[in-house]
Amino acid sequence: MDTGINGENYIDVDDALKRVGGNMGLYKRLLGRFIEGNHFEALDSAIQKGDFEEAERMAHTLKGVGANLSLIKLTAVSTELEQLIKNSQDYTACLANLKQAYDVTLEKIAEITG
d(CA 104, CA 81): 17
Mind listing the pLDDT tens digit of every residue in the chain (114 residues)?
445 454 568 999 999 999 999 999 999 999 999 999 888 999 999 999 999 999 999 999 999 999 999 999 999 999 999 999 999 999 999 999 999 999 999 999 999 998
In CATH terms, the fold of domain 4-113 is: Four Helix Bundle (Hemerythrin (Met), subunit A) (1.20.120)
Domain ranges across the chain? 4-113
Which residues are registered as beta bridge partners of 9?
4
Q: Is 112 in contact with 24 (CB distance < 8 Å)?
A: no
d(CA 102, CA 73): 9
pTM value is 0.88
d(CA 61, CA 57): 6
